Structure 1
């Protein structure tokens, strides 16, 4: 292994401890910190490219980054990725939401930015590998193929968010926290007086400051389209202020009186109608998943696997039928709540990630 290793440092406790553990093993370590433009006070001017903060750097505008550099005794390269982040992450979210899907921008960020662009940047600065603070495990198989597994800490496992990363990237990825729990990470930080400069935990969507609706409404060119709220049989029962304010399974904001609460069942983009019904109607057994990213080549078209349909979902047993290299049909043993088009579906064989894709329809 190349002795020089890059560590993606956000300023949170996980990446700080990950960098500390890698350095403690004797590797030549440097940090990579990227600026998306959605920070309250971006630490780099747009189109500046990059600059490096060294321990003891006197520039006041880099206080948070300098803290990382000082505590770890490593240089940190600050990289402007505003353009790439807009194209690959925030604009992707906008387009998907506008088309009635519920996207997961963290998955897009991992695939395009953290394990795409950042690996390129790590190589540019001379590193052979990139370490991150993700709770997941990557190994090489006996055939020299990268494999992805869930973390020891099942409550913090982030393999779901890594499911759309091309498997070749994991040959250059290191997960120092893979065998640790969150509490153990906190203890390592405490024992070694590591204080994250940005105390707030990472948010699922870093560029959403208040709500999805507010983000959509402030996007250039967006115009809200009020429309009808209808029952599954097409009967009008109310009006909505724009489909961008809703997602599958949502209860809040419907504001239509009934014998029991209404939930969003579907977004009819073509007719600009919000389809609502009762909670029992949200349970479905089947879904089509496409844009598959396979980690293992399956030998038969029919598999028994467990499948997650969102990060907080407990993986459920299902029959998986491979349609082609890009898609599969999933039939759950038990109906699942709120299968949502646009979200990722991740297929597991025990703790091994077999593949991931996007839910197209249920």
Structure 2
């Protein structure tokens, strides 16, 4: 039980960037007792990053805890990332990392250190549902260009109940101004990279380091015509145009991957559009009438579109859009929104 005679103690996941630094500063200003937590991950420049975070914590006059996460990150995130490409799927490691690492193991470490809540610098919010279960739902952040609810879609209601998102109602430009007001002048508008472990390295080189081998295969059309060759289907993703090396009057795009036979399937732009797709591993955040109708977002920069969702065989779900959607990519997450609330999500199968 929280001791009401002391300030609420909040652990802030800190990276040394502007968002997490301002998050900690805002919470201090609001009267919380704040501790910084930094995850030690198998990333380039770790010592430099620790130094950067320590300087921010010292400036804020808060304690900083270093949490060992190297092995768990390799086991839960790097392995998932590599295995997905082996299977011809395009993963989203940030979604899985948020559920398993940041709001899983890191939050557990914070609570074990006596924190009452965990906070991050994500641009998203939390809506408390008025029901007997105390259900908490994720909602979009105020800034539509920075909203990160898509990446947080797999967080459970229980995880959200331990969480604070102080930047929910801020726009990014305001955070840089806030940083200056708090005395931090080193932030020049740089944005963090989506996939942290690909900093200074391209995808193919990283996967090669993880043991994936180049292997000659065919580039084919849907009707089986062989138009070229490649050195590994795992080097491609649906919607890709560059790197095919097949000249034509109109561009060719990757429209599918056959990992079993090491084939890259290509087509023209209109072949990238489809109205229906299949989801597995569906996670509903609350009970809703089925069939469900609302907006579905297929990737972080996709404009959520109107669709209907129905159950099918083997525990899967079918999404049918009102309008065909481009470059539906197996392995990515489909996120279901009711207005600005995340009400469900699943993994795109086909």
What is the rounded CA distance, in whole Å, between the counterparts of 1:215 and 1:199 in structure 2? 27
Where structure 1 has 5 or more consecutive residues not aligned to the other structure, the ranges are: 44-60
What is the rounded CA distance, in whole Å, between the counterparts of 1:325 and 1:184 in structure 2? 47
Query: Of 205, 222, 225, which aligns to 1:232?
Result: 222
Q: Does 1:217 align with 2:222?
A: no
Residue by residue over 1:143-190, the C-alpha shift from the partner in whole angstroms, topping out at 9 and shown as x without a partner, is 211111111111100000000122210000000000111111111111
Q: Structure 1 stretches (4+) deviating beyond 3 angstroms?
A: 195-200, 322-327
Task: Give the match for residue 54 of structure 1.
Answer: none
Q: Does 1:185 align with 2:190?
A: no
Query: Of 63, 69, 91, which aligns to 1:81?
Result: 69
Task: Give the match for residue 193 of structure 2.
Answer: 203
What is the rounded CA distance, in whole Å, between the counterparts of 1:162 and 1:204 in structure 2? 13
Query: Of 297, 319, 322, which aligns to 2:308?
Result: 319
Residue by residue over 1:35-87, the C-alpha shift from the partner in whole angstroms, topping out at 9 and shown as x without a partner, is 111132347xxxxxxxxxxxxxxxxx953122111221100101120001101
Q: Does 1:344 align with 2:333?
A: yes
- Size of the aligned set, in residue pairs, is 342
Q: 1:127–1:196: structure 2 CA closer, same or farther, 3 Å change rule?
A: farther
Q: Secondary structure at the match of 1:95?
A: helix
Q: Which moved more, 1:320-329 or 1:206-215?
A: 320-329
Q: Secondary structure at the match of 1:304?
A: strand
Task: Give the match for residue 40 of structure 2.
Answer: 35
Q: Secondary structure at the match of 1:207?
A: helix
User: Does the 8 Å CA contact 2:296/2:305 hold for their aligned counterparts?
Assistant: yes
User: Does the 8 Å CA contact 1:36/1:81 hold for their aligned counterparts?
Assistant: yes
What is the rounded CA distance, in whole Å, between the counterparts of 1:231 and 1:117 in structure 2? 44
Q: Secondary structure at the match of 1:333?
A: strand
Task: Give the match for residue 255 of structure 1.
Answer: 245
Q: Does 1:280 align with 2:285?
A: no
Task: Give the match for residue 51 of structure 1.
Answer: none
TM-score (norm 2): 0.94
What is the rounded CA distance, in whole Å, between the counterparts of 2:164 and 2:46 in structure 1? 30
Residue by residue over 1:166-225, the C-alpha shift from the partner in whole angstroms, topping out at 9 and shown as x without a partner, is 2210000000000111111111111121246897422111111321111111113x2111
User: Does the 8 Å CA contact 2:40/2:46 hold for their aligned counterparts?
Assistant: no
Please state how far the C-alpha of 1:263 moved relative to its aligned partner: 0.2
User: Does the 8 Å CA contact 2:87/2:260 hold for their aligned counterparts?
Assistant: no
Q: CA RMSD in A?
A: 1.8
Please state how far the C-alpha of 1:348 moved relative to its aligned partner: 0.3
TM-score (norm 1): 0.91
User: Does the 8 Å CA contact 1:11/1:196 hold for their aligned counterparts?
Assistant: no
Q: 1:236–1:325: structure 2 CA closer, same or farther, 3 Å change rule?
A: closer
